[in-house]
């Protein structure tokens, strides 16, 4: 059963790389090429929100006890961010199935929702890891981030000639998390009451 759990967690992280990073990059570049403001705005917002996911990876590398909670919060916010905007939703509804960029974007949104839900379910199966990621039972959640740690460590040593350690990853992750929270609070207090669920993508013209 433990082997199946390990495989399931590993698969969840592999899928997250594809649907959280790979496909959004492709869609973003595609929207720029097609000059589609709605998709471009959607992806621009998504990338700002998804910064928390990358912060959570740093915290996983740094073995921060509550890193898994932040990871799940980040996937939840990412999912909300692609469905939240009324003006973008209305714009996407205007296109028929033959418009490949919009159709792919719609499929990706549903896939992202499924992957995020699956990630949460996998996490809940290891509920104790929400507060104790460093326990032996939670090692399966730290293994996927170990490869990222090796890559960052080698890049850090190459560019700066210094050693990138887990305490450094934890510090950078917590500092970035603090800045992220401040930015999120500022948006919630200033922009959300003003614009509501309007992304304002149409204010600079529609293609």
Instruction: Give the mean pLDDT of 133-147.
Output: 79
Q: Can you give the pLDDT at residue 207?
A: 39
Instruction: Give the mean pLDDT of 76-95.
Output: 94
Buried b (16+ CB within 10 A) or exposed e, 111-136: ebbebbebbbebbeebeebbeebeee
Instruction: Give the mean pLDDT of 128-142.
Output: 83
With residues binned 3-state (H G I as helix, E B as strand, rest as coil), the percentages for the chain, rounded to 5, are 85, 0, 15
Whether the per-residue pLDDT at 179 is higher than 60: the answer is yes
Return the percentage of the chain with pLDDT > 70, whole number: 95
Helices 37-61, 100-125: inter-axial angle, 10-degree rounding: 20
Q: Residue 98 phi/psi, 5° resolution? A: -75, -15
The confidence band for 174, taking pLDDT boundaries of 50, 70 and 90, is: very high
Highest mean pLDDT of the ranges 5-9, 76-80, 120-124: 76-80
Q: Per mean pLDDT, which range of 4-8, 27-31, 39-43, 132-136 is the poorest?
A: 4-8
Whether the per-residue pLDDT at 200 is higher than 50: the answer is yes
- 141 versus 73: the higher-pLDDT residue is 73
Q: Can you give the pLDDT at residue 2?
A: 67
Instruction: Give the mean pLDDT of 59-74.
Output: 92
Whether the per-residue pLDDT at 204 is higher than 70: the answer is no
Q: Can you give the pLDDT at residue 1?
A: 45
Long-range contacts at 131-137 (CB < 8 A, ≥ 24 apart): 131/65, 131/66, 131/69, 132/65, 133/60, 133/63, 133/64, 133/65, 133/66, 133/67, 133/68, 134/63, 134/65
Instruction: Give the mean pLDDT of 38-58.
Output: 94
Across the chain, mean pLDDT equals 87
């Amino acid at each position: 059963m433990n082997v199946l759990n390990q495989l399931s967690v590993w698969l969840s992280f592999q899928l997250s790389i594809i649907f959280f990073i790979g496909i959004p990059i492709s869609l973003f570049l595609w929207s720029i090429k097609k000059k589609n403001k709605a998709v471009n705005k959607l992806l621009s917002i998504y990338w700002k929100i998804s910064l928390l996911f990358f912060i959570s990876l740093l915290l996983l590398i740094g073995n921060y006890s509550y890193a898994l909670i932040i990871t799940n919060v980040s996937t939840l916010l990412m999912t909300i961010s692609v469905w939240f905007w009324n003006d973008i939703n209305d714009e996407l509804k205007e296109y028929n199935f033959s418009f490949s960029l919009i159709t792919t974007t719609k499929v990706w949104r549903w896939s992202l929702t499924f992957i995020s839900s699956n990630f949460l379910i996998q996490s809940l199966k290891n509920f104790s890891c929400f507060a104790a990621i460093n326990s032996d039972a939670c090692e399966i959640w730290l293994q996927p981030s170990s490869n990222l740690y090796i890559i960052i460590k080698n890049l850090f040593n190459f560019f700066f000639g210094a050693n990138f350690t887990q305490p450094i990853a934890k510090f950078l992750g917590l500092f970035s998390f603090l800045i992220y929270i401040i930015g999120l609070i500022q948006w919630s207090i200033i922009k959300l009451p003003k614009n509501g669920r309007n992304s304002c993508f149409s204010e600079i013209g529609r293609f």
